[in-house]
Structure 1
Amino acid sequence: MLSRLIAAILVAGTAALPSSGRAAAPAGSDLPPAACVKPGGWSDAQARPMDTGDLLRRAADAPVVLLGERHDSADHHRWQLHTLIALYTMNPNLAIGLEMLPRSAQPALDRWTAGTITEAELLKETNWRKAWGYDAQFYLPILNFARMNRLPLVALNVERGLVTRTAREGWAAIPPPDRQGVGNPAPPSSAYVKRLREAMDSHGPGERSADSFQRFVEAQSVWDRAMAERIAETRRDTNRSVVAILGMGHVEGHDGVPYQLADLGIGNSLVLLPWDPERPCDALDGRIADAVYGLRDADPSDADEPPRPRLGVMLEPGNGGPQVRSVMDGSVAAAAGLAPGDIVVAAAGTPVRDASDLTAVVQRQAPGTWLPLTIKRDQGTKELVAKFPVEQQP
C-alpha cells in the first residue's frame, strides 16, 4: 500500500526529533551530558541502547501500547506521530485511544474517521477547547493520520466533573448512576501513592490533610481506571492493538493506567516515553517505562516562529478552575511559587474556568512581561506573579 510505503520513508527520515535543555549524566558515569539516552535512538529504563527493529516489532504485537506525553510539547507529539506510523507499517490493525476527549465525544470521532465532517466541525462538535484546552494543532497530525488510514479513534476519558467530584467527596460518596459506567479501581501501588504524595508536597506550602490526600489519590485512580476500561473494552471488542495517547503521569513506572489494565487482565501493555535531554539520568530507575526515545536539542535554525510562552505546569480539572497537577523544575510557574494542588481562579484579573482560559492568557504574554495570578490554596486565596523571561525558552 502506498501510504504504508510513505510511512516507512517518513520514519526513516526522522531519526532524531528536537527538544531542549541538557541532562546530567549519573554520578560517577563516564557519559557526557545528555548521553544517557542517545538522541534518535531507543533505550531501556536503565539507559541501555535497544535495537529499534526488535522493539517496534514487540510493540506492534502488543495488545496495548501507551505513548506518554507532556501535553504542551510539540516535540512529544511529533515523536508520538512518528512512533504511531512505525507501528502502523508493521501492524495496520490499530485503534488510537485519546485521553483528550470524554466518551461523549465518540460520535464526533466516528464521523471524523469516516470522512463526513471537517476539521472545524470536529473541534466544534467535540468542544475541544473546553474538553481539553491544549492546542489542537499539537494533535491534528495524529487525527489526520487516523482519518487517512481509517483507524478508529477512541475517546478514553470521562467528563471532568467525575474526577473533580471524587477529589471533593471521595469515590464511595458517588452513587453508581453518577459514575459514568466506571468500575471500582484497583487499589494503587505503594509506589504510585508515594509518587502522588511527592507531587503534591514537592512545591507545596505544607502538609495537606490526610483526607484531602486520600481523595486526591482516589480521583487519580478513578481517572486511570476510566481510561484503562475504555482501552480494554476496545481491545476486546475490536481485537485491534490499541495505541493510547496520554499524559506521562498516567503511565510512568507502569503505575496508573498500565496498573489498572493489569487488573483488567491486560498485563502485557507496553509503556513508551519520549526522553528530553534536560531530564536527569537518574530518572531512568529501571521501571519508568519499557523503552524511552532520545530527543535531541533544538536547532534554532529549525524554528519557523518564536516559541510560545510556557508557564510550565500540568493541569487537570479542579473545583472552581484548573488544578495544578505538577510544576516543572526551573519553570516560570516554579519561580512564581505555584504548587501541585493549587487551583487557578484568575489571570491578570480575568476569571479562569478551565485550562483553555489559562492557556489563552499565557500565550498572549510577551517576553519580559509579568502575569498576576489568583489561586486557591488550602482554605484561602493567594496572589502570585508569573514573570516571563525576556527570551522565551523552547
Structure 2
Amino acid sequence: MASCALAYAVCCPLPATVLAFLDTTAYAGDPQCMKTISLWTASHHAGVYLRVAVFVLSALSLSGCGLLVGAAFGGGRPSCPEPGQWSVPEAGGTRLEAADTLLSRLAKEQVALLGETHDDPEHHRWQLHTIAGLYALRPQMVLGFEMFPRRVQGVLDDWIAGRLGDAEFLSRVEWRQVWGYDPELYLPLFQFARMHRIPMLALNVERRLVSRVGEVGWAAIPVADREGVTDPEPASREYATWLYQSYLDHQPPGGRQSVERRQPAEQELADARFRRFVEAMQVWDRAMAQGIADRLRGGQAPLVVAIMGSGHLQYGHGVPRQLRDLGVTSVAVALPWDQSESCAGLVPGLADAVFGIEARPRPRPAERPRLGISIDAAPDGVRVVSAVPASLAEQAGILAGDVIVRIAGEPAARPGDVIEAVLRQAPGTWLPITVQRGDATLDLVARFPPRQ
C-alpha cells in the first residue's frame, strides 16, 4: 500500500516538497523503492535536478499499482506527444507508451542513443532523467559522449575516479576549445556519472580529421592519420538527400547555394564537394559507432547510453547505420520532441521513441567574439586553414596559409591558445596577432567592434 501511495503522489501535481516528507522506513521491505529513494537523496544533495526523482519513481513504481503513465490520456492516438509523454511514431499517428514500459524496453537493448539540440537546456534535463531511469533498471552502464575526442579518455577516467574538480576537468578536456557550448548544460550529466561511478566514454575524433576529409575526401587520408576509424558503410541516397540542407547551411556567407529546404537535383548530389561533405559526416558517425561497438566487446556487456546530436540518429541513418554495419543490432534511438515542432515530422522510422518537451523560453546566449578563421595545428604555430570573407580576420589582413605564432602578446603553440585569446577579447578592443607568411613575419591587428 505504501508503494501505491508513493506512486500516486508522484503522478499527481503535488508540490515537490511532498517528497521531502517521505518516511523511508515505510519502504524498508522494498529494496527497489529503497534504491530509488537513495538515488533521489544522493542526487538531491549533489544539486542534481529534483525532477530526476519524479521520473525514476514513476518508472519503477506505477506498474505495481495499476497507474500507468499516459493512462489518463485515453486510448486515442494524438498526432503529437504532450509534454511529459513518451510516444512511438507509427503509421497514422503516434502511440503513447507508459514510462515504465518504455524504459524497461530501452534498458534491455545493447545501446540506447539519446539525441539533443546542443544548446537546449530542456533536452539535457530530459537526458538526465532518462539516464537516471535506465540506471535504476540496469546499473551496469557506460555513458558515451560525442563531446569528447578519444585522446581525453584518461581525463574522463580521472573525473569518474574523483581526482579532478569541475574547473580542472573542463580545462583538461579543453571543453571551450573542442566543444564550446555552455558547460553548465552538460555538467549535471557528468556529475551524475561521477556520483554513481558510471564510466564515461569519449566517442569522437579530432575535428581536424573530419575537416580534412571534407577537404580532400576519405580515400586521400593516410591510414596512419585515421585515428583507427575503419571505412564507413556508404551513405544511402536517403541519408545523402537528408544531409544536403546541412551542407548548404555549412557554406560560408556569400557562398550559400540556397536557404530553402528542397529536394536536391541528381547533379547536386553527385557534386564532388558535396560528396566529400557526406564522407566527413560518415567518418564522424563511424568513429562514434566504433567507440560504442568496441566497448561492447568481451565479457558481460553493459548498457551503453550515448549522448549526441539528434542529426546523427534520426531515421536510422548516421550512427545507427554504422552500428548495424559493425554487427550491433540491439539499438534504440530516443529523441526529445519540442512542443513547437510540427507534428508532421513524427513519421515511422524517425526514432524508436520520442518524449514531449515543453516549449520554454531559452535565455539568449551571450555573443561570443569571432575572428572568422578556421585553424589547425602546425609544427611552428597555428595554421590558418581559411578566413571568412568580410570577417575581422580578413579585415586584419590574415590569409589562408598564414601561421599564427603569437596572439595577444603570448606564443600561439596550439589552436587552443588562439581560441582562448579570442574568447577573452572584449568588444571595442584590438587584438595583436603575429603571423608567419613564407619568409616574412607580419604584425597584424584585429579590431573588435563595440557591443551594439
Q: What SS does the aligned partner of 1:297 have?
A: coil
**1:263 aligned partner, one-letter code:** D
Alpha-carbon contact 2:112-2:304 (below 8 Å) kept: yes
Query: Which residue number in structure 1 is paired with residue 164 of structure 2?
Result: 117
Q: Please point out which of 177, 197, 207 is paired with 1:150.
A: 197
Q: Are 1:236 and 2:297 counterparts?
A: yes
Counterpart in the other structure of 2:346: 284
Alpha-carbon deviation of 1:297? 2.9
Shift of 1:319: 8.2
2:355 is matched with which residue: 293, 318, 321?
293
Larger of the two Rg values belongs to structure: 2
- Give TM-score scaled by structure 1 length: 0.72
2:54 paired residue among 13, 16, 37 = 13
Amino acid at match of 1:231: I
Task: Kindly indicate whether residue 121 of structure 2 is the aligned counterpart of residue 86 of structure 1.
Answer: no
Is residue 192 of structure 2 the alignment partner of residue 160 of structure 1? no
| TM-score, normalised relative to structure 2 | 0.63
Corresponding residue of 2:310: 248
Whichever residue aligns with residue 187 of structure 1, its letter is: P
- What residue is the counterpart of 1:179 in the other structure? 226
Change (3 A) 1:214 1:130: same
CA distance change for structure 1 residues 62 and 239 in 2, over 3 Å: closer, same or farther? same
Partner of 2:331: 269
1:95 aligns with 2:142: yes
Q: Give me the whole-angstrom Cα distance separating, in 2, the residues matched to 1:347 and 1:89.
A: 53
1:93/1:31 Cα in 2 relative to 1: closer, same or farther (>3 Å)? closer
How far residue 198 of structure 1 moved from its aligned partner, in angstroms, is 3.3
- The answer as to whether partners of 1:64 and 1:269 remain within 8 angstroms in 2 is yes
Moved more, 43-52 or 265-274: 43-52
In the alignment, structure 1 residue 259 sits paired with structure 2 residue 302? no
Q: Does 1:220 align with 2:295?
A: no
Residues in 1 aligned to 2:203 and 2:247: alpha-carbon distance in whole angstroms: 25
**CA distance in 2 between partners of 1:98 and 1:253 (Å):** 20
Within the alignment, does 1:68 sit opposite 2:115 as a pair? yes
Q: Structure 2 unaligned runs (5+)?
A: 1-30, 41-49, 57-75, 259-267, 377-385, 399-414, 428-450
Task: Report how far residue 197 of structure 1 moved.
Answer: 1.6
Deviation at residue 349 of structure 1 after TM alignment = 3.1
- Alignment partners' CA distance in 2, 1:174 and 1:77: 35
Residue aligning to 2:363: 307
Provide the C-alpha distance between the structure 2 equivalents of 1:90 and 1:14, rounded to a whole number of angstroms: 12
Alignment deviations for residues 177-216 of structure 1 (CA, whole Å, 9 cap, x no partner):
0100000001112211110123334794256970000000
- Relative to structure 1, is the Cα distance of residues 31 and 257 closer, same or farther in structure 2, using a 3 angstrom cutoff? closer
Pair 1:188-2:235 in alignment = yes
Residue 174 of structure 2: aligned partner: 127
Letter in 1 for 2:111: V
Partner Cα distance (2:35, 2:180) in 1: 31
CA distance in 2, matches of 1:54, 1:94: 19
Question: Closer, same or farther in 2 for the Cα pair 1:224/1:310, shift >3 Å?
Answer: farther
| Alpha-carbon distance in 2 for matches of 1:138, 1:40 | 20
How far off its partner does 1:57 sit? Answer: 0.3
Q: Is the CA contact 1:69–1:247 (under 8 Å) kept in the aligned structure 2?
A: yes
Say yes or no: does 1:48 pair with 2:95. yes
Contact persistence 2:241–2:269 (CA under 8 A): no
How far apart, CA to CA, are the structure 1 residues paired with 2:203 and 2:319? Answer: 11
RMSD: 3.5
Q: Is residue 198 of structure 1 aligned with residue 245 of structure 2?
A: yes
Local SS of the residue matching 2:133: helix
Total equivalences in the alignment: 317
Contact 2:373 2:387 in 1 (8 A): no
Q: How far apart, in 1, do the equivalents of 2:390 and 2:149 lie?
A: 26
Read off the aligned partner of 2:154 and give its amino acid letter.
P
Give the distance between the partners of 1:347 and 1:78, measured in 2 at CA.
39
Amino acid at match of 2:87: S
Q: Do the aligned partners of residues 232 and 257 (structure 1) sit closer, same or farther apart at CA in structure 2, a change above 3 Å counting?
A: same
* Aligned residues with identical type, % of pairs: 43
Q: Which amino acid aligns with 2:196?
A: N
Give me the whole-angstrom Cα distance separating, in 2, the residues matched to 1:60 and 1:223. 26
